[in-house]
Chains A and B, each alone.
Chain A
């Protein structure tokens, strides 16, 4: 719906409050249009785009070894000093991380570690539900990073989901099917 053009000079329009009526018409249109709010914890869940910087994960090669060469560039570039890397030499004589810890409580999800990494090892994915009531669980180790899910293929959709309050963790959502809804089509842009 285009905005009704109300000419300031038109006195007929001013006498009959054409501008006020145009405003009322606009809000009426919005009242009748669909809402764009995600019903997030209850019915649906937003899967972010692949470029989203969410949870950390560590890539592995075909042999199942971590890509990381423990060069420590990520921990050097990290603006909040939340990455701890301690290298060691494994049986094949490769340099690998003995310790690779990320303190999520301090991480600001800037993605600089991802950019600095020369070995395509540390990456940021699309999971964003990392809140917890125990600060100790916010320290993630190498095993957690390897086990963490990789980038999801279907970013940018809203998936039907349910609130899982039975589990030990708080409000984990699990998408039930792949069919997402195109919520952008609902947004009025006038």
Chain B
């Protein structure tokens, strides 16, 4: 019994995190459409609910009631599991993300994370790397030219950008002497990493955009030239699982940017609880991602590879070198 009771907080936290993550894409789609609209001097969705706030719900109902279509020659099993494979890693990543320092609730200390792993950063990078399998399987199983092209692009892109992304955080790890995310945040007390690691942040930010497959690096799903890329053949609920995964990757990248380079929950005004301050920063980064999306055109495929291998990779190596010298 005592064993079960000791597990209870964990399960409660898990339920909260999973619930929030499942619901989060609803406001995010609304936000994305609103930001797109206002950049283009339109009001965006206005008619369903106050300023279109219920529009995502209407969209969700539409997606759920659509025909679940599987192409004739598709590999049915892979086709069915691909969206799930794409969806699991973003959830997995949130296991290791801390949302704040431990707090006192009803006299017991509750840590604001599911598991503050001491190899947290490594785990996050590894888990997010699995996400590409969903894309590969989806493209392969669809038996469609566009989907295969999209997934081929996505494999190349993921491999190219995972390397600079991994290198760019090494500077942060060196500064904190730890891969535990709470330690990394604690090491930024007084001075955020963005000040000492601007190049690292730049590389991480750009590689993160590419990992999330967002404009200007959204080649795997380039609407204009590939139909919709790897999820061309998906419809209804399976398609919405891909969209869900995409938004969750966006959120987790915003979290990582804040935790690694912008001091996590540190440095907020005194009246704000630290985790709210963290969420404000994360919200800011999500807004920046969307702002970028509706500003920039898409890079050409060779430009994408050039940026990855000839710019970001040397920059991240240089960053490791320079921060190593400075720390000595």
Which of A's residues lie within 8 Å of B, judged by CB? 20, 23-24, 26-28, 30-31, 33-37, 39, 42, 187-188
Could you list 10 examples of A-B contacts with CB < 8 Å? A23-B296, A24-B292, A27-B39, A28-B291, A30-B38, A31-B38, A35-B41, A36-B41, A37-B42, A39-B43
A37 near B43: Cβ-Cβ < 8 Å: yes
Q: How far is the CA of A187 from the CA of B39 in the complex (A)?
A: 13
Q: Smallest CB–CB gap between B226 and chain A, Å? A: 24
Nearest A residue to B288 via CB reads A24
Q: Which of B275-307 contact A (CB under 8 A)?
A: 291-292, 294-296
B38 near A35: Cβ-Cβ < 8 Å: yes
Q: Choose from B39, B43, B46, B296 the contact partner of A30 (Cβ within 8 Å).
A: B39
B41 near A33: Cβ-Cβ < 8 Å: yes
Cβ-closest 4 pairs across A and B: A27-B295, A35-B43, A31-B38, A27-B39
B46 near A39: Cβ-Cβ < 8 Å: yes
Q: Choose from A24, A28, A35, A42 the contact partner of B47 (Cβ within 8 Å).
A: A42
Nearest A residue to B47 via CB reads A42
The answer to whether B40 has its CB under 8 Å from any CB of chain A is yes
The answer to whether B35 has its CB under 8 Å from any CB of chain A is yes
Assuming the A-B contacts A27-B291, A31-B291, are A20 and B42 also in contact, with contact meaning beta carbons closer than 8 angstroms in the complex? no
Complex contacts, B43 vs chain A, CB 8 Å: 35, 37, 39
B292 near A31: Cβ-Cβ < 8 Å: no
| Best-surrounded residue of A24, A31, A35, A37 (most CB of chain B within 10 A) | A31
Complex contacts, B41 vs chain A, CB 8 Å: 30, 33-37, 187-188
Q: Smallest CB–CB gap between B177 and chain A, Å? A: 31
Q: How far is the CA of A30 from the CA of B40 in the complex (A)?
A: 7
Interface string of B45-60 (1 = CB under 8 A from A): 0110000000000000
Q: How far is the CA of A33 from the CA of B40 in the complex (A)?
A: 10
| Best-surrounded residue of B37, B38, B41 (most CB of chain A within 10 A) | B41
Complex contacts, A27 vs chain B, CB 8 Å: 39, 291, 294-295
Q: Choose from B35, B47, B296 the contact partner of A31 (Cβ within 8 Å).
A: B35
Q: Smallest CB–CB gap between A92 and chain B, Å? A: 56
Complex contacts, A35 vs chain B, CB 8 Å: 37-38, 41-43
